[in-house]
Amino acid sequence: MGKEIERKFLVKHEGWRMDAERARYRQGYLSLDEERTVRVRTVSQEANGQEQGYLTIKGKTVGAGRAEYEYEIPIGDAHELLDKLCRRPLIEKFRYRVPQGELTWEIDEFLGENAGLVVAEIELEDADQLFERPDWVGKEVTDDPRYSNASLVQHPYARWLT
């Protein structure tokens, strides 16, 4: 069984940008059930112009972990699923990867109805694993369900203050 252990933080400033690789993500959800989500995603790499499609099934989050299964799918299928079957709004974002020691931070800069939200994530081997927090990492929001991508489909960031 695949397992994802991830911690999520708000970003305080843009000190991470100079060392970051960037890709454009477009993703949508086929299922937003409380016990599981089924996501379709395209990833466009800016460095080489390649685009890939993925289907991901995630179990219910418990603490910082959950079951996760991800499979590459044909890019045409991914576009068709996003355009015809996924819930709206789609999640659109730039993802930046910032290596730090043996780990890599992923910073998501959201676009569209979630513009203005910037979140940093780090995947760990163990929920208690120690890691260095760069000075641009702010408040931890791992346990706040509003910051999950699946939740941002149902309650976009732009509507939080209205």
Q: What percent of the chain has pLDDT over 90?
A: 73
Helix or strand run (H / E) with residue 80 = helix 75-84
- Domain range annotation of the chain: 3-159
* CATH superfamily of this structure's domain 3-159: Hypothetical Protein Pfu-838710-001 (2.40.320.10)
- Active-site residues, by number, are 29
Confidence of residue 161 (pLDDT cuts 50, 70, 90): confident
Computed from CA positions of residues 10, 13, 16, 17, in that sequence, does the dihedral angle turn out positive or negative? Answer: positive
Strand partners, 97: 21, 106
Confidence of residue 21 (pLDDT cuts 50, 70, 90): confident
